[in-house]
């Protein structure tokens, strides 16, 4: 595939047209200020405020489009990137679309550990990753490549076991399967072509990365506000795992202050309990749209 010259000035970004990654990728792009519409009806969408066009593709095709430079960037699962063995650069892991590629076999059957799979047949949509996993352990397996509904193949006698994407495990359980081995952990990644890019595109990508980092950081953080007795300021400061020192504003009631700060979302409940113990009241937590550190 080669890229036509006339469009080579716009940065072209591949995203999944319709599937599990679409909504979160669209939210991320909008969250970092890329404005566009009608992405559900079109295969190619121009953005209003940047020299960027979005190409809406099946996720399976994204690694190759980026590898070949048809698209400069792509948002795609690490699983697809690894399966296509594509020559691209991973710029960021994006913390959504999390899943794992696992081997599963009928519950209470004889297959338990990797060595039990010698000579067995495994159905999968990920033959490359699965083959590599068993090859590295010198175990010979037969692979049957299936593009969908892989989890019913053991019941149909097509395969002894499967290698498939799992997030909660509900689908496996519903089909009488037991998850045995995790081959790969996956999340959505932002990938970049290894083809040469113009300076203008490189600058735009740098700018997007700063915004993406800010957006990701914001998703993991909360803005908290509280009132506290002036006498407790030092105790409050010791409790809050703040990035920077908190903002402290005196209240009309002279022995009270308002304290504002940003904390990691994971610490919210423990921090809030500790703050209450040292006299903080009216604690309010707010989501943050974005932040640049």
Q: Whole-number minimum distance, CB 57 to ligand ATP, in Å?
A: 7
Name which of residues 52 to 111 contact Zn ion (CB under 5 A).
59-60
Classify burial at 170, counting beta carbons within 10 Å of its beta carbon; exposed 0-12, middle 13-18, buried 19 or more: exposed
Single out the residue of 58, 107, 142, 276 in contact with ligand ATP (rule: CB under 6 A): 58
* Sheet hosting strand 88-93, strand order edge to edge: 44-46, 52-57, 11-16, 73-77, 188-193, 88-93
Residues contacting ligand ATP: total by CB under 6 A: 15
- Indicate the helix (H) or strand (E) that contains 179: strand 177-186
Q: Whole-number minimum distance, CB 112 to Zn ion, in Å?
A: 30
214 in Cβ contact with 292 (< 8 Å): yes
- Indicate the helix (H) or strand (E) that contains 210: helix 199-219
Stretch that binds ligand ATP, among 74-82, 205-213, 219-227, 233-241 (CB under 6 A): 74-82
Of the pair 59, 64, the CB lying nearest Zn ion is at: 59
Residue 99 interacting entry, from Zn ion, ligand ATP, none, C-beta within 5 to 8 Å by type:
ligand ATP
- Residue carrying structure tokens 């710029």: 91
Q: Quick one: angle between helices 199-219 and 22-31, nearest 10?
A: 100
Single out the residue of 32, 82, 88, 99 in contact with ligand ATP (rule: CB under 6 A): 99
Q: CA dihedral defined by 190, 195, 201, 207, rounded to 10 degrees?
A: 30
Q: Whole-number minimum distance, CB 100 to Zn ion, in Å?
A: 17
Single out the residue of 26, 59, 178, 236 in contact with ligand ATP (rule: CB under 6 A): 59
Single out the residue of 72, 80, 151, 189 in contact with ligand ATP (rule: CB under 6 A): 80
Dist. CA 246–CA 181, nearest whole Å: 46
What track of x and - describes contact with ligand ATP for positions 164 through 183 (by CB under 6 A)?
-x-x----------------
Residue 60 in contact with ligand ATP, rule: CB under 6 A: yes
Bridge partners for 101 per DSSP: 165, 184
288 in Cβ contact with 220 (< 8 Å): no
Residue 67 — left, alpha, or beta (φ > 0 → left; ψ -120 to 50 → alpha)? alpha
Of the pair 19, 200, the CB lying nearest ligand ATP is at: 19
Q: Whole-number minimum distance, CB 180 to ligand ATP, in Å?
A: 17
Residue 21 interacting entry, from Zn ion, ligand ATP, none, C-beta within 5 to 8 Å by type:
ligand ATP
SS3 call for 264: strand
Single out the residue of 11, 21, 184, 204 in contact with ligand ATP (rule: CB under 6 A): 21
Q: Whole-number minimum distance, CB 84 to Zn ion, in Å?
A: 11
Q: Whole-number minimum distance, CB 179 to ligand ATP, in Å?
A: 12
- Residue carrying structure tokens 């060595």: 115
Binding interface with ligand ATP (CB under 6 A): 16, 19-21, 58-60, 77, 79-80, 97, 99, 165, 167, 186
């Amino acid at each position: 595939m080669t890229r036509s010259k006339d469009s080579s000035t716009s940065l072209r970004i591949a995203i999944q047209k319709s599937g599990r990654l679409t909504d979160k990728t669209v939210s991320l792009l909008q969250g970092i200020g890329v404005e566009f519409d009608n992405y559900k009806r079109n295969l190619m969408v121009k953005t209003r405020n940047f020299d960027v066009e979005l190409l809406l593709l099946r996720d399976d095709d994204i690694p190759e489009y980026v590898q070949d430079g048809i698209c400069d960037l792509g948002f795609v699962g690490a699983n697809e990137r690894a399966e296509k063995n594509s020559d691209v650069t991973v710029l960021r892991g994006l913390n959504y679309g999390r899943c794992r590629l696992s081997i599963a076999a009928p519950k209470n059957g004889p297959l338990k550990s990797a060595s039990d799979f010698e000579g067995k047949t495994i159905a999968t949509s990920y033959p490359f990753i699965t083959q590599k996993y068993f090859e590295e352990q010198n175990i010979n397996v037969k692979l049957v490549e299936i593009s969908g509904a892989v989890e019913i193949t053991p019941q149909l006698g097509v395969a002894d076991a499967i290698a498939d994407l799992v997030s909660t495990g509900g689908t496996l359980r519903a089909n009488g399967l037991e998850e045995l081995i995790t081959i790969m952990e996956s999340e959505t990644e932002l990938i970049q072509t290894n083809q040469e890019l113009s300076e203008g595109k490189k600058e735009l990508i740098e700018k997007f990365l700063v915004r993406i980092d800010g957006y990701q950081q914001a998703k993991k953080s909360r803005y908290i506000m509280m009132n506290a007795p002036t006498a407790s300021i030092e105790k409050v400061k010791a409790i809050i795992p703040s990035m920077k020192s908190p903002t402290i504003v005196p209240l009309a009631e002279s022995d009270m202050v308002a304290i504002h700060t940003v904390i990691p979302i994971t610490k919210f409940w423990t921090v809030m309990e500790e703050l209450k113990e040292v006299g903080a009241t009216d604690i309010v937590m707010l989501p943050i749209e974005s932040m640049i550190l």
